[in-house]
Chains A and B, each alone.
Chain A
Amino acid sequence: MSGRNKTRTNLFLDIAIFLAFVLVLTPRATGVAIHEWLSIAFAACIVVHLLFHWEWIIAVASKLFTRIFHESRLDFAVDLLLFLDVLLIMVSGLAISKVALPTLGIQIPFSVVWKQIHGISAKVALVLAGIHCGLHAKWIGYNAKKYLLEPFVRLFRRRTDGNAISEVK
């Protein structure tokens, strides 16, 4: 995959993850069944997201203790916390699952502790995801403009150009 295509795929995958994340965080809006199945799909997307950034993860992890003050270190710390938090959400979510696991024939006794952990870790994940995206705001802004905004503008320009040509004729 070329660099341009990879960046575009990355951007669209990230947008899909973001939309899924927001929907997953609002089970009142979606209902429990969609909440649970979408969460499982979200986890799969997270694995793909990590695969896309594998080289970066390995590069930063290998130099983690060589340079104390580096911007990547903060990114890595936030990403690690977010990964652990999402893992906690998934485990606690599966432990209190009402639809997904019973559908697969797995019954886990309900626990209030898991429900509390699920709620708190979801709120923490929202803040961590905001920090994670905020730290990459420059990349998001640049590529959103390049791959989302500019194609629309170009399309509009082409249409106006076409109208102008037909008017001249």
Chain B
Amino acid sequence: MKTLARAACILAVACILGFGIYAIVPRPAAVAPDGVSGAAPTGNSASANGAVGNAERQSNTATPPRPVRGNGNGAGHGNGSVSGIVSLAVTLAVFLFVYVVVAFLSAFIRRRPKLGA
């Protein structure tokens, strides 16, 4: 029971902070179905029809999307120029570097004789 209450407390803090973060960051502009930013046309009013016309014109004249270089694994992150294994190795290397430096500094500071001792 106590553990559940603690877990609920952690989740409550996480939810409050999470919604706070979500509220702070600005919302993205509405996107038209054809991928053009702007007010999404919803009604039959003149302005809405105008928005459709604008959207269509822009989508016709817009530059075609650049081909995405992928590594074919369906990851969908980045351009795929760095393989997954290299990415994993770099992540591990950075982590280990920070870990070793901090561990060394921490041990060094602990062993240092205190002034006046």
Residues of A within 8 A of B (CB): 22-23, 25-32, 35, 47, 50-51, 54, 84, 87-88, 90-92, 95, 98, 109-114, 117, 126-127, 129-131, 133-135, 137-138
Q: Which 10 A-B pairs have the closest CB atoms?
A: A134-B102, A130-B98, A29-B84, A137-B103, A111-B28, A28-B84, A134-B103, A27-B77, A26-B87, A28-B87
**Contact A98 B76, beta carbon cutoff 8 Å:** yes
- Residues on B with C-beta less than 8 A from A25 are 91
Interface of B is mostly: helix
Contact among B21, B91, B97, B106 for A22, CB-based, below 8 A: B91
Q: How far is the CA of A110 from the CA of B98 in the complex (A)?
A: 33
Known: A26-B87, A88-B21, A109-B30. A31 touches B102 (CB 8 A): no
Interface size class of B (residues with CB under 8 A): 35 or more
Known: A50-B10, A54-B6, A126-B91. A28 touches B100 (CB 8 A): no
Known: A26-B88, A28-B84. 11 other contacts (CB 8 A): A26-B87, A28-B73, A32-B76, A35-B77, A47-B10, A84-B17, A91-B21, A111-B25, A113-B26, A130-B96, A130-B99
**Contact A109 B102, beta carbon cutoff 8 Å:** no
CB A10 to nearest CB in B, in angstroms, measures 15
**Contact B74 A32, beta carbon cutoff 8 Å:** yes
